[in-house]
Structure 1
Amino acid sequence: MKIVIINSGSSSIKYQLIKMPANEVICSGLIDRIGLETSNLSYETKENRIEEIMSIPNHKEGLKKVAQLLLDEKVGVIKSTSEIEAVGHRVVHGGSTFTHTVIINKEVKEKIEKLFDLAPLHNPANLEGINVAEEIFENAKQIAVFDTAFHQTIPVVAHKYAIPNKLLTENKIRVYGFHGTSHKYVSEQAILYLRDNLKIKASKIISIHLGNGCSMTAVKDGKSIDHTLGFAPMNGLIMGTRCGDIDQSIIFYMVNSLGYTLDEVNTLLQKQSGMLGLTGFSDLRDIEANAEKGNKDCQLALAMNAYRIKKYIGSYAAALNGLDAIVFTAGIGENSSYIRKLVCTDMDYFGIELDDAKNNIRSKTIREINTKNSKTKILIIPTNEEEEIAKQVHELLLS
């Protein structure tokens, strides 16, 4: 069974063509910096690798480019779209409606659209991916895998807000959690690693997903018990354009005293804040490059970013009542030695001791970057949301 996996992030598209159940990756690639003049495109098969810099204004144009490459006479891997039996889509927000992987139909799409306001940077891109895939792979089953599903195990003491009860029971306002596909994949990989290397059966892990969107999950014995993102993917850590945690009274002050409309506040906090608001750049590679050149705003923003992560490590170590490992994953988590060093400095109280030499090694495999004396393992585990999505799609179609 050939399955195309489409993982649309807020400014990126990761994609793979996977043959199941062998879990054979036929091709893979990434488009990032979508919306900028210098979007990066990569496409890789066993025989070919293509890397291009071009302007990709939106997700629709990006997905059309992916389809062109899959069907290309020279570098393509399929001769007809009829070879594709299923397309698996990562969908960020499933609300209280979707707790499991589902086959997409008109009703499912309508419900995904109703959740736009809760994930305005993601669900529209996810639905766009579904609509374009339906046009391109018209004979394939379209399947949705929801980021919120992994976090259904968060206990009520952690997922309920201290607001009137009816807002949970009637309006389903609660912590939902996001990046669940990634957190599920890397935490399972971490558990296997700890069992094989340390013979640890029970496990207390903090998974740190750092990309343009960022989140952390406390994972106890394989189950999510707390998470930094809440009702919508906006709070918690400092992100590319999102502010993360903020005193909600600031919103009322901006509206009542500074004359902002609610729509303007929403746009500011979602699309003009975070690292972009602090530095003028939304891509961490640009921020790190300018920080190294002495840009004070960029240096401070990176320090603030790391400080927020450290605060949550302390919080989740308390919630877990211990800590076996922290896991860095996703684009920034896997590739930024700068951020990892800032996060792991002065964390010896938690048994976290970073080995600088190991931290600077680039690799695509699971690896430790802690010292031999570190009581807590510091792991880099490349996330593979596409593999996790393919597994869930295949299981659904066989059920």
Structure 2
Amino acid sequence: MRPILAVNSGSSTLKFGLFVEDNGEQRALLQGSAEGIGKDGGKLEIQGADGKPLHQEERKYASQKEALQHVTDAMAALKVDRPIAVGHRIVHGGPKLVDHVRVTPDVLKTLEAAIHFAPLHIPTSLDLIRSTESIYPDIPQFACFDTAFHQTLPEEAYRYPLPAQFAEEGVRRYGFHGLSYASIVHQLGSELKSRTVIAHLGNGSSLAALLDGKSIDTSMGMTPTGGIPMGTRTGDLDPGVLLYLMRAHKLNDQALETLLNHNSGLLALGGASDMRKLQSSADGGDHDAALAIEIFCRAIARTAAAFAVSLGGLDALVFAGGIGEHSAPVRANICARLKLLGIEIDSACNQASEAVFSSGNVQVGIVPSQEEAQIAREVGKLLAN
């Protein structure tokens, strides 16, 4: 069977994977990433199913479109089968596109009309879809929305305390990182606890409360800017702060967009958006870096504790994402703040990043995010139907 190509675009990265169905599961033939897009230096790496490198090169990419073209050229040079379909991770589909769907002209029109919901993300997604069409004109494409996983949120969780006319326009909590959460639910299968909080921690970070595998609460809001502080994003702010910035500093919408999404968060607090750099600086006595980590961990713990209220208790806490999977100090900091919920960890197991490292009543562990594999799963389901 011909494979499915999964495309997962970030602000400066393009991750991808080629998957084939094997006994009902999507098995990776190859995976990789183009990094440093839009920056002075970039690189392309492709690994085979065994994790061994198939292709590596240093290369500058001006855009996601250029990176995608080079990725598909590299895959063709490796003589892998052409895909039967292409699935794209789409961060936001606005109020009308809330389920994974085949891309059609009508879908593209609806996405274009929703750009004001995610002006930093949707235009790039549209460019990649159109670029893919020029590369593979005869192959169907599918849009896989990060917001789809959170369609099970109850109204009390997604409705904002604003007049009804704004809710009717789609001003509500949507939630994001849905493909990551869905991949974790898939991996855990029958081992998934009834009342689980997942913390997807990376440059963009969010938490979700899952009751029997369904999202009932989540930290990000109408956009991925909301929730806990992130690498360069503020997370939740008192709306009065925005009014102050507009009045006192004459910031318009574009200036606010740049400030809130690119110049805030851990970068503003500690001088770096990379947790490894912050941890190194904090270990060397840097007060600002240490404060940034404390604010980050405190916000995560507060959110997890609040979600225990939403769930009526807590059976499991799962860490995912680059920070969640690899930063033992961050995990330990968060768990120490949550002892009141029955969380106890084995320090040695946490330091070794073992899959389960709890020693108390609440199971605590790590499950790696598999967004590209989840895209392939969702596309596989749509092809089967």
TM-score normalised per structure 1: 0.89
Q: 1:168 to 1:335 in 2, by over 3 A?
A: same
Amino acid at match of 1:91: I
CA displacement at 1:378 relative to structure 2:
0.8
Q: How does 1:192-207 map to 2 (within 5 A)?
A: 192-194=190-192, 203-207=194-198
SS where residue 97 of structure 1 aligns?
A: coil
Q: Does 1:246 align with 2:246?
A: no
Q: Which residue of 1 is the match for residue 325 of structure 2?
A: 334
Is the CA contact (8 Å cut-off) linking 1:210 and 1:332 kept in structure 2?
A: yes
Q: 1:379 aligns with which of 347, 351, 365?
A: 365
Query: d(CA) in 2 for partners of 1:252 and 1:274?
Result: 19
1:208 to partner: Cα distance: 0.8
Q: Following the alignment from structure 2 to structure 1, what is the Cα–Cα distance between the partners of residues 27 and 244? A: 54
Further displaced range: 342-351 or 316-325:
342-351
What is residue 159 of structure 1 aligned with on the other side? Answer: 158
CA distance in 1, matches of 2:351, 2:36: 24
Q: Are the equivalent residues in 2 in contact too, given 1:16–1:26 (CA < 8 A)?
A: yes
Structure 2 CA distance, aligned partners of 1:275 and 1:116? Answer: 27
Post-superposition Cα deviations, 1:297-336, rounded to whole Å, max 9, x if no partner, equal: 2221111111110110110001101111011112221112
Deviation, structure 1 residue 53? 5.2
1:290-309 matches, within 5 Å, as 290-309=281-300
Alpha-carbon deviation of 1:249?
0.4
Q: Is the 8 A contact 2:298 2:337 kept in 1?
A: no
> What residue in structure 1 maps to residue 212 of structure 2?
221
Q: Which runs of 5+ in 2 are unaligned?
A: none
| Matched positions, count | 380
Question: Which deviations, in whole Å up to 9, do the C-alpha atoms of 1:109-155 show, x marking residues without a partner?
Answer: 23223333322332233223212221222221111111111111100
Q: Does 1:119 align with 2:125?
A: no
What is aligned with 1:312? 303
- CA distance in 2: counterparts of 1:328 and 1:135, whole angstroms: 38
| C-alpha distance in structure 2 between counterparts of 1:133 and 1:207, whole Å | 33
1:182 alignment counterpart: 180
User: What's 2:15 paired with?
Assistant: 14
What SS does the corresponding residue of 1:178 show, helix, strand or coil?
A: coil
Could you say what the CA RMSD is over the residues aligned between the two structures, in angstroms?
Answer: 2.0
Aligned to 1:78: 80
Aligned mate of 1:42, from 36, 41, 45: 45
User: Quick one: distance in 2 between partners of 1:317 and 1:289?
Assistant: 32
Structure 2 residue 278 is matched with structure 1 residue 287: yes
| d(CA) in 1 for partners of 2:42, 2:323 | 17
Q: 1:116 & 1:245 partners in 2: Cα distance?
A: 21
Contact map agreement 2:183 2:371 (CA 8 A) in 1: yes
User: Which sits farther off after the overlay, 331-340 or 30-39?
Assistant: 30-39
Question: Quick check: 1:325 aligned with 2:316?
Answer: yes
Residue equivalent to 1:197: none
Letter in 2 for 1:18: F
Conserved? CA contact 2:97–2:110, under 8 Å: no
**What is the alpha-carbon distance in structure 2 between the residues aligned to residue 246 and residue 370 of structure 1?**
33
Q: Quick check: 1:103–1:142 contact (8 Å CA) kept in 2?
A: yes
